[in-house]
């Protein structure tokens, strides 16, 4: 009998060597989002299942095929792990009456999401996102759309993603979407026999999803039918202002009339950002768009509007390939040459940490070679060595791991000495 356990299918461990890179991305995300006026929000990882069914749309693949529902002891309760962040943020916005307190609320979030899809490279059942939502109680602004897109591009460039490619489109207003849906259904009906099995289902449930099908036969049908979506004049004017705003701040983009998002709540501006790397055909690292009816569908006021995006952390890391960020490790590694010197280095370790110097120690004595190997593996800038001479002279040997130089410093001065060297 095999008594070992493996990580659940569709999930992955984030091992200690990888965590510093995740921390670096999260640190940058928080710093940049705050510079744009966003505040962090942390919502539960599970919500009432009807929140997602109502917000995402009962006809979407996420609800029909990918929602991970939780078992409950009470028949009148039903919960699901969150498949995305927007619905939870909007639920919190309405529940906490932000619309009564401020005209524009800007939130960002970082955390895990869950979908029961078939696991594949860069697409896991538990995945992590960095996302933002800008929610207002006045009319939608094309400049807010442009700023939101600019923030997504700013984040990806700071993370080190090379040459991210931006595609944008407009789905028009709620009325436009209803009219365009009827038009698309009428046009695709002429070619229904050429559509894949999934798109024949989408034809009835959510015809917009046919536009972004990756099946070659479906792509040919879409290319022959849809050159541009027939938007109303006000929607065309709004989209033109978004494009002009992006152009004014020198953000290159491609207008893609076949770009749609898989969630029902999107209206007007939608966008997707792709990146070269090890992502294969599924090369998107982030996407988002505007939503005008979501708050009302969840019980909020009809005049609440929003726009947001989510970036996939795992997909960003795949696009990066190798970490472009210098990973933070300990500044100092302390080692004792004899077991009897362990109490001394343990005290020094705590003094360094209290002074804000990151430090670790060799908890098991060994040869100089083995302990220097541990210091190197820890990424330490300095190795502190306590041997017989150092104990006699109340001093510590300080080895610079970068240039292999060594000096002796009085034990009483070690904290001040390292503080000055590290700050310089």
User: Which pLDDT tens digit goes with each residue over 282-318?
Assistant: 689 999 999 998 999 999 999 999 999 999 999 999 8
Average the pLDDT over each of 47-56, 138-147, 332-341 and give the range with the smallest value.
47-56
pLDDT computed for residue 407 by the predictor: 96
pLDDT computed for residue 199 by the predictor: 84
Average the pLDDT over each of 45-54, 199-208, 280-289, 401-410 and give the range with the smallest value.
199-208
Most confident of 52-66, 107-121, 320-334: 107-121
Say if residues 306 and 134 touch (Cβ distance below 8 Å): yes
Mean pLDDT of 354-381: 91
pLDDT computed for residue 172 by the predictor: 92
pLDDT computed for residue 262 by the predictor: 64
pLDDT computed for residue 326 by the predictor: 52
Mean pLDDT of 14-41: 92
Is the domain covering 19-163+260-320 a CATH 1.10.1510.10 domain?
no
Output 326 or 360, whichever has higher pLDDT.
360
Distance between first and last Cα of the chain: 58
pLDDT band at 29 (very low <50, low <70, confident <90, very high): very high
Over 60: is that where the pLDDT of 62 sits?
no
Mean pLDDT of 414-423: 93
Over 90: is that where the pLDDT of 53 sits?
no
pLDDT computed for residue 59 by the predictor: 54
pLDDT computed for residue 321 by the predictor: 79
Over 80: is that where the pLDDT of 77 sits?
no
State the average pLDDT for the chain: 88
pLDDT band at 75 (very low <50, low <70, confident <90, very high): low
User: Which pLDDT tens digit goes with each residue over 253-283?
Assistant: 999 988 887 667 889 999 999 997 656 556 8
Output 84 or 208, whichever has higher pLDDT.
84
Output 227 or 350, whichever has higher pLDDT.
350
pLDDT computed for residue 58 by the predictor: 55
Neighbours of 260 (CB within 10 A): 22
Mean pLDDT of 57-86: 74
The structural architecture, per CATH, of the domain 332-423 is: 3-Layer(aba) Sandwich (3.40)
Mean pLDDT of 137-155: 93
User: Which pLDDT tens digit goes with each residue over 205-256?
Assistant: 778 888 878 788 888 888 888 888 889 999 999 999 999 999 999 999 999 9
Domains of the chain, residue spans? 19-163+260-320, 332-423
pLDDT computed for residue 208 by the predictor: 82
Q: Give 116-122 contacts, CB < 8 A, sequence gap 24+.
A: 116/10, 116/65, 116/66, 116/67, 116/68, 117/10, 117/65, 117/66, 119/9, 119/10, 120/282, 121/278, 121/279, 121/280, 121/282, 121/318, 122/279, 122/280, 122/282, 122/312, 122/314, 122/315, 122/318
pLDDT computed for residue 180 by the predictor: 87
Average the pLDDT over each of 14-28, 186-200, 365-379 and give the range with the smallest value.
186-200
**What share of the chain has pLDDT > 90, as a percent?**
60
pLDDT band at 76 (very low <50, low <70, confident <90, very high): low
Mean pLDDT of 27-43: 96
Mean pLDDT of 168-185: 90
Residue 204: CB partners within 8 Å, gap ≥ 6? none
pLDDT band at 323 (very low <50, low <70, confident <90, very high): low
Residue 265: CB partners within 8 Å, gap ≥ 6? 55, 56, 57, 86, 291, 293, 294, 297
Output 110 or 220, whichever has higher pLDDT.
110
């Amino acid at each position: 009998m095999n008594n070992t356990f493996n990580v659940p299918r569709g999930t992955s461990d984030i091992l200690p060597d990888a965590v510093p890179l995740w921390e670096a991305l999260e640190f940058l995300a928080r710093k940049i989002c705050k510079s744009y006026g966003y505040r962090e929000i942390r919502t539960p990882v599970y919500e009432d299942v009807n929140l997602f069914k109502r917000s995402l749309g009962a006809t979407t693949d996420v609800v029909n095929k990918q929602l991970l529902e939780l078992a409950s002891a009470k028949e009148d309760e039903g919960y699901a792990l969150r498949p995305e962040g927007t619905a939870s943020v909007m639920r919190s916005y309405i529940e906490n009456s932000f619309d009564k307190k401020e005209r524009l609320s800007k939130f960002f979030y970082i955390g895990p999401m869950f979908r029961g899809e078939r696991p594949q490279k860069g697409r896991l059942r538990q995945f992590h996102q960095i996302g933002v939502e800008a929610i207002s109680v006045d009319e939608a602004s094309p400049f807010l759309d442009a700023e939101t897109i600019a923030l997504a591009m700013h984040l990806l460039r700071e993370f080190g993603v090379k040459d991210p490619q931006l595609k944008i489109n407009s789905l028009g207003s709620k009325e436009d979407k209803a009219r365009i849906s009827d038009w698309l259904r009428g046009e695709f009906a002429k070619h229904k026999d050429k559509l894949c099995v999934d798109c024949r289902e989408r034809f009835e449930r959510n015809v917009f999803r046919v536009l972004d099908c990756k099946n070659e036969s479906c792509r040919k049908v879409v290319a022959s039918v849809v050159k541009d979506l027939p938007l109303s004049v006000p929607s065309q004017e709004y989209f033109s202002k978004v494009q002009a705003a992006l152009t004014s701040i020198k953000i290159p983009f491609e207008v893609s009339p076949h770009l749609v998002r898989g969630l029902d709540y999107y209206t007007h501006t939608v966008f997707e950002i792709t990146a070269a790397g090890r992502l294969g055909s599924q090369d998107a690292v982030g996407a988002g768009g505007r939503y005008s009816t979501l708050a009302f569908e969840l019980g909020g006021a009809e005049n609440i509007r929003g726009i947001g995006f989510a970036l996939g952390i795992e997909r960003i890391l795949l696009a990066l390939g190798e970490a472009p960020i210098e990973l933070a490790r300990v500044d100092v590694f302390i080692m004792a040459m004899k077991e009897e010197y362990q109490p001394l280095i343990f005290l020094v370790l705590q003094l360094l940490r209290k002074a804000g110097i990151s430090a670790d120690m060799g908890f098991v004595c060994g040869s100089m070679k083995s302990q220097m190997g541990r210091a190197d593996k820890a990424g330490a800038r300095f190795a502190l060595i306590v041997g017989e001479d150092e104990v006699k002279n109340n001093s510590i040997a300080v080895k610079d791991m970068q240039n292999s130089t060594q000096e002796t410093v009085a034990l009483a001065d070690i904290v001040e000495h390292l503080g000055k060297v590290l700050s310089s």
